[in-house]
Structure 1
Amino acid sequence: MEDLPEALLREIIKRLPTTSDLNSLSLVSKRLYTVEAELRDAIYVGCGVCPVTVALASLCSRFRNLCKVEFNYSGWTPNDGMQLGNQGLHVFSSCCPSLTDLTLSFCSYIDDSGLGFLACFKKLMSLRLKALPQIASAGLLSVAVGCKSLSAFRLMSCENVSSVEWLEYLGKSGSLGELVVGNCERISQFDLLRFGSGFMKVQMFEFQNSNLLKDLTLAWISTEAEIGLCCLLRKCKALENLSLYYVLVMLAPQYCEGYDCRTTLTDDSLKALALWCPMLQSVELTFFGCEPDWPDEIGFTQEGLVMLIRSCPIRDLKLGGANIFDDEGMKALSRARFLESLKLINCVAITDAGMHFLACSPSLIDLTLELCDESLTIAECCQISLKAVQGAAKTVHYTDECPGYKEWMDRCVCEPQV
């Protein structure tokens, strides 16, 4: 074993999957012990490591290249000995200079003063804090100010965190690519607005205290990967109002250089809406600059949108630049039982034929049309006046009687279904 090339030893060590195997291997020879210590870049510390401060100093002395460390005291009892506390974090911050990824879970004895030591980790990029009952907003602000390299932050089940100056600071710095806030009862959806311009750079965002979320608006977000919209919508059971303004995902093409763009809202997202958001009443989908000749830029299909309209009690629908929506979609809208208000902006695939279908809409009382460049026909919509539609297009045709309307209704209602 002592005669093996070091490169081969490193390859053997890298192929061992478990910590117990690595520990056993390091006992075989002094050389393996040394090489394994150099390669070890991650450790897990849980219940039973006691005294933890002394153990940390010893671990960091042996494993000098640690990049990822997790402390998890889930299920801890006093019989397990002392947890990691503020003093332990102080010692740890002075002897692990290469740390880039840190997780603190169920650490009951760490408070804001302990979090202040995290600023010593100059290379820290990813931080996860879960179920730390003693920490508050002041400690998180010290993390936001001190950890200049932080790019991923997860805050879970920290019930004492309320004010969000730390979130505002992180938003202004613009360094975060990943932000998760979950089950923090004193942080509301409105507090997240303090993140401000930070949303322009974030690639993954999740707010898990969303069972009571009623209003969700995402505007002008571009990412290089999916932002988990489908996952987010699954958790918004009380959602009533959804507005999406040109939320993009950047897709690396297979056969050419550069990137393709499409919206992150897909048919799967719409299916999640239909299944998990039964209270949804208002939907606004606006797409700027999506070319009619490139329908794939809009990630969902007309069939997906129609499925959503049929599944949820949507009363207010606004579509802007939805070039995938045509007269067949209007036909489906005319059968929507709850739809009261419809706004169509620059939906170029809709023609007068599509507008005719609205004549039999059972609940529609408010119709708004914008950027209808050529002609518009309004027929048999008794709640819509001629005055209201003047100027919507170059030519407006308005009538209280729709020629062929009775015949059309007889054909739809009376003819036997095939």
Structure 2
Amino acid sequence: MEAIGDDELGMVLKRLNNKSDRISCSQVCKQWLRVEGLLRTQLRVLDPSLLRSFLPRFPNLVALELGKVLPDVDLEFVAETCPNVQILNLNLRQTCPVSDSTEEIGYDDLTGDGICSVAGRCKGLKKVYLRRRKGIGNVGVISLIKHCTDITHLDLSWCSRITDGALESLGAASSLQSLNLHGCSLITDWGLASLATGSSARTLQKLDLSECDRISDIGVVFLQQLCCLEELSLAECGPKITDAGGVSISAICGLKSIDFSWLINISDATFLSLANNCNHLVWLNITGCELATSAGLRCFATHKSLEVLIAASCYSLSADGIEHTLLGCSKLRYAVLDKRLRGWISGDAIANVNPLCRIEWR
């Protein structure tokens, strides 16, 4: 019997969808091990310390995940070994909690030097996730945008060294669709203006600015120029965002998801504008908006697309206002409401709410 060639063996291995079966096949002999490695397109690395011993077996990787501490030299090795990678997930998974807020924990292991190496060699990158990599600064981001012109998704949440300089570069990106800047507290209004007036204004669909507490209405007003935006979070961005910014956001008619939670100076004027202009809105979070009243909530009673309403810790809402909204919003599927009002809403009203709507009390 003739030996099976690499091409024939490759055709056999491609038919194996079960991960454990692929691993078993790779243990048959050296040829099977080599061919299986050439066919592998996705890999999650659990122990980066062994990276140099096994990564060369997978030169055709498209998606790579490394969630632990990673020095620049190892990332440079990744760039040299896997130049075809398109999805690079370096989100840091915290395994040793030191405090109650894991989002504030990060390491300065990986810096802009490592990201520059990847950007220079892996020019086909489309999705890059760098959550909690606190050593990443503007240089790495600028290099990614310069060399990886097809990048669509970028997660920089809790990368605390990111400043307006990075946003100026991001604004010039021509294919960026999703940008997460959650916890990048050095960003200011100038950065938002740069982001919203560049090429990315025509492509960006999802933007998370949660806890960027240096921004104000001045910068938020520029966001209305993001004509393709569908998802926006301004959660916990501080008291400098008021109805001036909130009303301007409603000019983005295609918005489907908005998070205004804990914006204490957003009031009914914003909600009225959203209800009237954002006809495609599906998800709305106004938790902790102290100025929200039943008058503002009632604006959504006839909304045709709203499916999720989160309105916990809104102490000025009345049982009547909530009742009216729940009964009138025909597409509502899920609502989170303040538990103190539970006893004031009639059982009949709750029973009459769309049977598909689940109510959670907090």
TM range (shorter): 0.5 to 0.7
Structure with the higher fraction of residues in strand conformation: 1
Of 194, 205, 218, 1:177 maps to 205
Matched, 1:131 2:131: no
AA at the equivalent of 1:143: L
8 Å CA contact 2:184–2:212 kept in 1: the answer is: yes
Equivalent residue for 1:94? 120
Residues 166/148 of structure 1: CA separation in 2 closer, same or farther (3 Å cut): farther
Residues matched between the structures, number: 271
CA drift at 1:298: 3.8
8 Å CA contact 2:192–2:219 kept in 1: the answer is: no
**TM-score between both structures, scaled by the size of structure 2:** 0.60
Of 32, 54, 59, 2:78 maps to 59
1:159 counterpart SS class:
coil
Structure with the higher fraction of residues in helix conformation: 2
1:31 counterpart SS class:
helix
Unaligned runs of 5+ in 1: 250-262, 288-294, 301-307, 315-323, 326-418
1:222 counterpart SS class:
coil
| CA-based RMSD | 4.1
Equivalent residue for 2:310? none
Residues 168/111 of structure 1: CA separation in 2 closer, same or farther (3 Å cut): closer
Of 158, 178, 195, 1:152 maps to 178
CA drift at 1:240: 2.5
AA at the equivalent of 1:227: K
Of 274, 296, 300, 1:283 maps to 296
Q: Which protein, 1 or 2, shows the higher relative CO under an 8 Å CA cutoff with sep ≥ 6?
A: 2
CA drift at 1:30: 1.0
1:55 counterpart SS class:
helix
CA deviations over 1:206-258 (Å, ceiling 9, x no partner): 212257555332434433xx7124xx255556642233253345xxxxxxxxx
Equivalent residue for 2:55? none
CA distance in 1, matches of 2:81, 2:25: 15
8 Å CA contact 2:167–2:195 kept in 1: the answer is: no
1:127 counterpart SS class:
strand
CA drift at 1:187: 1.8
Residues 2/154 of structure 1: CA separation in 2 closer, same or farther (3 Å cut): farther
Equivalent residue for 2:257? 228
- Structure number with bigger Rg: 1
Equivalent residue for 1:16? 19
CA deviations over 1:359-383 (Å, ceiling 9, x no partner): xxxxxxxxxxxxxxxxxxxxxxxxx
Unaligned runs of 5+ in 2: 41-57, 97-105, 307-315, 323-327, 330-362
Of 277, 289, 308, 1:247 maps to 277
1:72 counterpart SS class:
coil
Matched, 1:186 2:200: no
Residues 228/195 of structure 1: CA separation in 2 closer, same or farther (3 Å cut): closer
Equivalent residue for 1:195? 223
AA at the equivalent of 1:139: A
Equivalent residue for 2:169? 142
CA distance in 2, matches of 1:191, 1:54: 38
CA drift at 1:22: 7.3
CA deviations over 1:48-92 (Å, ceiling 9, x no partner): 44xx33322332344343111122345499xx9971112112211
8 Å CA contact 1:178–1:202 kept in 2: the answer is: yes
AA at the equivalent of 1:219: S
CA distance in 2, matches of 1:55, 1:23: 25
Residues 264/169 of structure 1: CA separation in 2 closer, same or farther (3 Å cut): closer
Residues 63/117 of structure 1: CA separation in 2 closer, same or farther (3 Å cut): same
**TM-score between both structures, scaled by the size of structure 1:** 0.53
CA distance in 1, matches of 2:292, 2:113: 50
AA at the equivalent of 2:182: M
CA distance in 2, matches of 1:299, 1:124: 31
Residues 109/234 of structure 1: CA separation in 2 closer, same or farther (3 Å cut): closer
AA at the equivalent of 1:55: D
